Amino acid sequence: MKNILIVEDELPISRVLKAYLEKNQFHVEQAFTGDEAERKFDATSPSLVLLDVMLPGRSGWSILEYIRKKSACPVIMLTALGQIDNKLMGLNQGADDYITKPFIADEVVARVQAVLRRSTNIINGDQVRQFGSLKVDFKAYTVTLHGIELAFTPKDLSLFLFLAQYKNQTFTREQLIEQVWGMDYEGSDRAVDLAIKRIRRSLENWPATEGEIKTYRGLGYKLCVYE
């Protein structure tokens, strides 16, 4: 049974989400403040976090940053803020999805299920590929650079593994959305650009002579490997 942590200070909303998630066979923990969220996250190691942005004392952005320093656990942001800048902020900081209030509880459950499916959709294959000092293990679902494992969000890791699986091939944003985010994704393809930006930051110490992620304007992205 998957464990979901709901971080929401509005008790009626938290109760409704808990009831719907439990109806769909999830185990649910609740937190109502930022400090409580950190304690519950460390104690329960949830499979996914539903995280409200507007919390008493500390913002959801602060909690998201705390989670991302420790874990690739999927995080869905919940907020009444519908402006595109806030959505981009969440995605840029490593959120896996963004749901604006008011929402339908059934939709939240469906988004939780979709994010969990994507986060566990490991690329098939049992080989390890070495791209110079970069080692990609498709079975273990890890990427190491100079012997040190790189930290990615689940979606960023899925995106990079897909590009690595098909190195030196160019994919459009639409193709990457379909392969990594899924057909049910309703957001902007800007999410691809933000993910590529984060991946490049993680790969900044990968020698350019060994490989790079290249942008092809009007086409898309390609992981170029110089072997």
Please say if the pLDDT value at position 123 is more than 50: no
- Say what the pLDDT of residue 65 is: 87
More confident of the two residues 185 and 194: 194
In 24-77, which residue ranges form alpha helices assigned H by DSSP?
A: 34-44, 60-70
- Give the pLDDT band (50/70/90) at residue 135: very high
Q: Which residue has the tokens 């869905």?
A: 76
- Say what the pLDDT of residue 90 is: 61
**Eight-class DSSP state of 180:** I
102-112 in b/e form (b: 16+ CB < 10 A) is: eeeeeebbebb
CA–CA distance, 90 with 97 (Å, rounded to integer): 8
Q: Which of 96-105, 125-134, 159-168 has the lowest mean pLDDT?
A: 125-134
CA–CA distance, 147 with 121 (Å, rounded to integer): 25
Please say if the pLDDT value at position 122 is more than 60: no
Q: Which of 3-17, 37-51, 178-192, 195-209 has the lowest mean pLDDT?
A: 178-192
Structure tokens at 12: 């009626």
Residue 178: which residues within 8 A CB-CB, separation 6 or more?
A: none
The candidate with the shortest Cα–Cα distance to 179, out of 163, 201, 197, 200, is 163
Please say if the pLDDT value at position 71 is more than 60: yes
Structure tokens at 5: 């942590």
β-bridge mates for residue 149, sequence order: 144
Tell me which range, 19-33, 95-109, 154-168, 169-183, is most confidently predicted by mean pLDDT: 19-33
Confirm if 212 and 140 have CB atoms less than 8 A apart.
no
CA–CA distance, 199 with 191 (Å, rounded to integer): 12
Give 80-109 pLDDT, tens digit per residue: 765 556 656 666 677 888 888 888 999 899
Mean pLDDT for the chain overall: 86
- Say what the pLDDT of residue 125 is: 47
Average pLDDT over residues 29-43: 94
